[in-house]
Amino acid sequence: MKLGYMLIGLAFLSIVYLFIGNSDISPMDIFHLTPVQLQVLQVSRFPRLISILVAGISMSVIGLIMQQLTRNRFVSPTTAGTMDSARLGILVTLMWFPGASPLQKMLVAFAFALAGTLIFMRILEKVKFKDTIYIALLGLMFGNIVSSVTTFFAYKNDLIQNMSSWLQGDFSTIMKGRYELIYISIPLLIIVYLFANRFTLAGMGEDFSTNLGLAYRKVVNLGLILVAMVSAVVIITVGTIPFLGLVVPNIVTLYKGDNLRDTLPHTAVLGAIFVLLCDILGQLIIYPYQLSISLTVGVVGSVLFLYLLLRRKAYES
């Protein structure tokens, strides 16, 4: 699959997406937009499209980074407790700092996401499994424990409805003035690309990469910080998008191999296409009502995840 064709497909879907929704705007209207139609595009359609593209790219890329650093195809922010830890951080801000700004919530969520990811990595160092699927199961168990703690305190403090909004990823609430925080992901993704070769070496193991002169611990910690920060930004802006950082990197790896610098562009573009298609499906399947992105991505992603599980022996690194 050539990157150029993927970019053309992404551009085509993006244009089509601008004309999908409850407000009737056709391609022919673009030359004589009414004030109302122009406002819909500026306030809702364009911000939503940008959020979809950035979120799809971000979650797919950090999923690839996690898989590279853990040397496990079935590890991602949603299967390593990263997103669950970020939600716990959001609960802490709602309980102790109810007047916190979105940026402050993001920073607290980042701290908890990083702590949760480091704990998971520490567990991996202590527990050795021959079958990679057990690592993903271990991460899911860890994430469920964190999620249970979050749910308990949310019920106790009558915040369960507030927390439910962070659990369900949804682009329908994205509007101008309420999504700009997601732009923080863009410089973080640039850093990921600049350090791609080092992350590739780190994925070969500590002994091997250290012998090649790589500061293994520093590179791994940088990767985990980037993963935690992007996870916090996306969950604050959009909510949780399950399976995205798991299935997209695996699909790309099947036809592009393991070199991170080669697979990053494909992973980014395919992630954006995947989320865009799922959101289009969510808007059309029960039109004029909408399904949340977490539901559509969760259903499609779970099917792909099951396929990868059944074929894992052929795809393990």
Q: Does residue 107 lie within any of the structural domains?
A: yes
- Measured CA to CA, the distance from residue 216 to residue 219 in angstroms comes to 5
Number of domains in the chain: 1
Domain-located, residue 30: no
User: The domain that contains 212 carries what CATH number?
Assistant: 1.10.3470.10
Cβ 248 vs Cβ 267: under 8 Å: yes
Residue 317 has pLDDT above 50, yes or no: no
pTM of the model: 0.86
Element (H, E) at 90: helix 82-96
Tokens standing for residue 223 = 């990767």
Q: Please tell me the predicted confidence (pLDDT) of residue 171.
A: 81
Report for 8-22, 149-163, 248-262, 269-283: range of highest mean pLDDT? 269-283
Dist. CA 225–CA 212, nearest whole Å: 23
Average pLDDT for the chain: 83
Residue 217 scores a pLDDT above 90: no
Instruction: Give the whole-number percent of the chain exceeding pLDDT 70.
Output: 93
Domain coverage including residue 152: 3-18+47-315
For residues 234 and 83, what is the distance between their CA atoms, to the nearest angstrom? 10
Would 37 be classed as within a structural domain?
A: no
